[in-house]
Amino acid sequence: MRIRALITGVSLVAVLCLVWALPLVAEKNAEPEQEMKIKGLGFDQLAQTPVVLLGNEKETLLPIWIGLCEARSIEIGLSGIVPPRPLTYDMVAAMVRTMNAEVRRVVITDVRDRVFYAQVEMSVGGKVSRIDTRPSDAIALAARMESPIFVRNAVIEKAALLDSDVVREEL
């Protein structure tokens, strides 16, 4: 178990060093997106899996099905509870802070075949980079770093639920 944790820690350090070394190339045609907030965590009885609900002021809800461990980590991040031993996301957040880096925002970038994709946008030493990640990981990190969450409009059009009352009743 210690070897796995060491490998994970070394891998995370390598990724953060890579982020620092590779500056972000400015996108010419940035896709339109909306800021959303975590509205809650639920459990999909039919799929037997947790769901994180992102929402905006327009009562649009975007459900993203995630794993049990990730749901718990998001819940811990939102609550502000400090576990007796740091979880992986706590460690990543500590590493980001130690490097004087910043998680500027996370973006849910795509959904294909009911699988969501995301990026974490980081700034290290004035250089901005984007790192591909699972949405659940990005959201868990954003909860700890108090970073905004954005969703591309194309994702909202494909996967959002516009009638939030129906979603709340089903979850």
CA 30 vs CA 54, 80, 124, 153: distances in Å: 21, 33, 21, 11
Provide φ and ψ at 38, rounded to 5°. -75, 115
Q: pLDDT tens across 75-105, in order?
A: 999 998 888 998 999 999 999 999 999 999 9
Domains of the chain by start residue, with CATH: 2-170 (3.10.690.10)
pLDDT of residue 18: 43
For residue 120, the surrounding DSSP H or E stretch is strand 115-124
- What is the pLDDT, as a whole number, of residue 30? 74
- Asked if 99 and 124 count as a contact pair (C-beta separation under 8 A), the reply is yes
- Mean per-residue pLDDT for 8-33? 53
Q: Which long-range contacts (CB under 8 A, 24 or more apart) does 160-163 make?
A: 160/60, 160/61, 160/62, 161/60, 161/61, 161/62, 161/63, 162/59, 162/60, 162/61, 163/59
Determine which of 52-56, 133-137, 156-160 has the lowest per-residue pLDDT on average: 156-160
For 116, the enclosing helix (H) or strand (E) is strand 115-124
What is the spatial distance between Cα 143 and Cα 8, in angstroms, rounded to a whole number?
A: 21
22 confidence band (pLDDT: 50, 70, 90): very low
What pLDDT, on a 0 to 100 scale, did the predictor assign at position 29? 53
Q: How far apart are CA 15 and CA 21, in angstroms?
A: 10
Q: Tokens for 110?
A: 């795509």
C-alpha 171/C-alpha 51 separation (Å) is 9
In this structure, are residues 129 and 17 in contact, taking their beta carbons and an 8 Å threshold?
no
Question: Does the pLDDT at position 134 exceed 80?
Answer: yes
* Phi-psi group of 97: left, alpha or beta (phi > 0 → left; psi -120 to 50 → alpha; rest → beta): alpha
